[in-house]
Amino acid sequence: MVKRYVNADGSANRKSIAELRQWRKERSAKTKDLSYRVPSVEPDVAFLAANRTKPTVTFVGHATFLVQLGGLNIVTDPVWAARMGFQPRLSPPGIPIELLPPIDVVLLSHAHYDHLHLGSLRRLPGDFVCLVPEGLARWFRRRGFARVKELSWWEETSVGGATFAFVPARHWTRRTPWDTNTSHWGGWVMRHGAGTLYFAGDSGYDAPRFREIGERYGDIRVALLPIGAYEPEWFMGGSHMTPEEAVQTFLDVGGDIFMPMHYDAFRLADDTPKEAVDRLLAAWDRAGLPRERLWIAPLGNTRLWSADETTIME
C-alpha cells in the first residue's frame, strides 16, 4: 500500500474540481498589473567562489537560495527553469547556474515542480548530497542521484560541520495525477556554530508548528519565509501564507532577520510580486518591527551575517 502523507493536523489540502473551477472563474474576472519586476544586482561570483568562512545567503529567486555555512555551499529548492507550465518566468535567476560555486548540499522542501526541477538538478556543479523529505529518495536514485538522504519531520543529519534538521510545514505535493502526497514536505533548519538559518519551504500558516520550531531552535539568525501565491485566500490558504501571516510566522519562530521568498519568479496564484511586497511592508510596520531586520534582497544579492551583528553586502 502506498503511504500518503498529511499535515500535523491531519489535513491533506485536497481541492475539489468545483473549487478549482470557481478559482479559475474568479481569476478570469481579474485584471492585474504584471509590469513590476523584482530588482536585481550583479552577483559577486568571485567572492562566492572564494568564501569558505563567512555565513552568507544569496537570493537566486522563488525558493532558490545559495547558502554558505560552515564551509559548505548549499542550494535550496534549485529551480533555474525559464517557465513553469505555461507561465514564463517573471524575472531571471539572480545567479546563472553556470556561475555557481561547486555545491555540497541540496535541500529539498517538497516535490512540486516549482521546487523540484530535474533539469536544474542535473546542471548543478559539484558532488553534492541531496537531503530530501521522506518518500522522495527513490525518485532521486532512479534518476541517477546516488548521494541521497531522506528525513522525516524533526530528524537531523550532519554534513561536514553543519547540522540540517527537517521541520514541519503545512502543505501538500503532487507531480502526477497518481502520486498526490506520496512524499512529505517541510522546511529546513541549518546550523553551524552561532549561525542558524531557517528555510521554511512552502507552507500555509501553522502557529503550533512554527512556535515549536522557535522553541527547539531558539537562535534562528535568518528566516527565509514565503510571502506569495496566496490569492485567492479561500483557495490557497491551506498551503500558502499571506504576507501578514509570514510576519506572524517570523515572530512565532523568533527570528532575528526576515528574508522573503516565493513571490518573484512564477505566477502561481492571482497575487503579484508588488502586491506581496507592499502587504509585507505594511504588516511589518504595523507590527512595529525595525526595517533593518527585514531584508528584501534584490535577485543576485548576497547578505552576510554573524553571531552578534549583521551586515549587508551590496
What is 43-313's CATH number?
A: 3.60.15.10
Give me the percent of the chain exceeding a pLDDT of 70: 97
Look over the chain and give the mean of its residue pLDDT values, rounded to a whole number.
94
Identify the three-state secondary structure at position 215: helix
Q: Determine the pLDDT at residue 144.
A: 97
pLDDT digits (tens, 9 = 90+) for 260-308: 999 999 999 999 999 999 999 999 999 999 999 999 999 999 999 875 5
188 and 109 Cβ atoms separated by less than 8 Å = yes
Q: Determine the pLDDT at residue 312.
A: 52
pLDDT digits (tens, 9 = 90+) for 11-64: 999 888 999 899 988 888 888 888 888 999 999 999 999 999 999 999 999 999
DSSP string, 184-247: ---EEEEEETTEEEEE--S-B--HHHHHHHHHHSTT--EEEEE--S--SHHHHTTT---HHHHH
201 and 110 Cβ atoms separated by less than 8 Å = yes
Q: Output the pTM of the full model.
A: 0.95
pLDDT digits (tens, 9 = 90+) for 41-53: 999 999 999 999 9
Q: Determine the pLDDT at residue 69.
A: 96
Domain boundaries, the chain: 43-313
The dihedrals phi and psi of 122, each to the nearest 5 degrees, come to -70, -20
Q: Determine the pLDDT at residue 235.
A: 93
pLDDT confidence bin for 310, thresholds 50/70/90: low
pLDDT digits (tens, 9 = 90+) for 74-94: 999 999 999 998 889 999 999
76 and 67 Cβ atoms separated by less than 8 Å = yes
CA distance 203 to 135: 18
* Residue 191 CB partners (closer than 8 Å, separation 6+): 162, 163, 164, 165, 197, 217
pLDDT digits (tens, 9 = 90+) for 192-215: 987 899 999 999 999 999 999 999
